[in-house]
Amino acid sequence: MEKKKSFHLILKNHMQLNEKNGWFDMEAATAMSGGQFVLYHETGVKVLYALTHLMIKNNVKHGFKPVMPPSLVQDHALVNSGNLPKFKGDFYSIPEDGLNLIPTAEVALTNIYAKKILSKEQLPIRHVAWTSCYRREAGGYGSLERGLIRIHQFEKVELYSIVEPEESKQELELMTETAENILKQLGLHYRVVLLAGQDCSFSSSQTYDIEVWLPGQDQYYEVASCSNCTDFQSRRAGIRYRPIVDAKTKLVHTLNASSLALPRLMVALMEQGQQEDGSIVLPDLLQQTMDMLW
C-alpha cells in the first residue's frame, strides 16, 4: 500500500475543500430530501462515474461478471441475505407494495441463485454489481461523520462469490486483493484490518475491513468490508450444488466485498489530493478516465 503522505500545509477536511471546489451540495439535497442526502455537481459526478468505470474494469479483469440487479426487493430476499428479521428498521421499506430498498447489492446478489441446485462445473460464480444503497442510519452523527461520511443514499460497487466450501478461505483473499487493487492504482494510503469475531456482521464468519486514511480528519474510515459468510446465506436461500452427478447436494459458501464505497473514496481523494490553495490534484489514472467521459 502507499505510504501515508506528508503534508506541509494546514489540512482541510472534505467539507472545507468542497467550499472552493463545489463537487457536491448538501444544502440542496437537504431541501428536497432531508438531512444526510447529497447532490453531486459537475466534477463530483465525473469523479463518481470515472471511479465506477475503473472499479468495474478492474473487477472484470479479476474474473467477476457484471450484473445490474433491482434496487427493490421483497422481504424474503432480505431474510435470505441475513438482514431480516435481525435488522428490521435499518433499511427503507415500502409496506404497501411489499418492497424494500436494498441497503447493499449483496442482498440482491444473494438471491440470484436462491433455491437453485448448481453443478460443480458452474463454480466458482463471481459477480460485480454497481448500485445505489439505501440505509436509514438512525441515530446521531458526530462531527467526524458529517458530509459524505455517513449518508442515507450512496453508490457502491459490490463483489459477490459463490464457491465450494473448501475454496471460500482462498476466495476471501482474492476478493480482498481485488478491492485493494483499486486503492493501489489510485495511490491512496489505506490499511487492512481483520475484524474480531464479535465485530463481524451477523452473517459473516470472517471479515476484512479496508480502511482509507482521511488526512483532513486524521482518521481511517472503512471503504470496503470483505466477508466470508460460509453457508449462512446459502442455508437460508437454499443455494446448493452437486459435487458429482447423482451425488447428494451440498450447501455452497457465499462471500461479498465492497469494491468500493464511492462517497468515502471521494472523500479520500479530496483530502489526500488537497493542495495549499485548496485545489485538488487527482491521480493521473482517474483524471485520464474522467477526460474520456464528456
- Find the mean pLDDT for residues 230-257: 96
What's the first-to-final CA gap in the chain, in angstroms? 31
What burial letters (b/e) apply to 26-49, b meaning 16+ CB within 10 Å? beebeeeeeebbbbbeeebbbbbb
Q: Give the range among 2-11, 124-133, 259-268, 270-279 with minimum mean pLDDT.
A: 2-11
Give the C-alpha separation, 211 to 27, whole Å: 28
Share of the chain above pLDDT 70, in %: 96
Domains and CATH numbers, the chain: 14-69+103-291 (3.30.930.10)
Q: Identify residue 65 by its one-letter amino acid code.
A: K
- Find the mean pLDDT for residues 242-259: 94
By the 10 Å C-beta count (0-12 exposed, 13-18 middle, 19+ buried), 143 is classed as exposed
- Confidence (pLDDT) at 192: 97
pTM of the model: 0.94
- Find the mean pLDDT for residues 21-47: 97
- Find the mean pLDDT for residues 220-232: 96
pLDDT at 46 over 70: yes
Residue 116 CB coordination number (10 Å): 14
pLDDT at 77 over 80: yes
Give the C-alpha separation, 83 to 102, whole Å: 10
* Catalytic residue set: 135, 150, 222, 225, 264
pLDDT digits (tens, 9 = 90+) for 86-127: 889 899 999 999 999 999 999 999 999 999 999 999 999 999
Pairing, β 125-134 against β 65-67? parallel
Give the C-alpha separation, 267 to 221, whole Å: 10
By the 10 Å C-beta count (0-12 exposed, 13-18 middle, 19+ buried), 255 is classed as buried
- Confidence (pLDDT) at 251: 98
By the 10 Å C-beta count (0-12 exposed, 13-18 middle, 19+ buried), 199 is classed as exposed
pLDDT at 198 over 80: no
For the chain, the average pLDDT equals: 94
- Confidence (pLDDT) at 246: 84
- Confidence (pLDDT) at 3: 78
pLDDT digits (tens, 9 = 90+) for 137-166: 865 555 567 899 999 999 999 999 999 999
pLDDT digits (tens, 9 = 90+) for 4-13: 888 889 999 9
Cis peptide bond prior to 124, omega within 30° of 0: yes
- Confidence (pLDDT) at 145: 72
Share of the chain above pLDDT 90, in %: 86
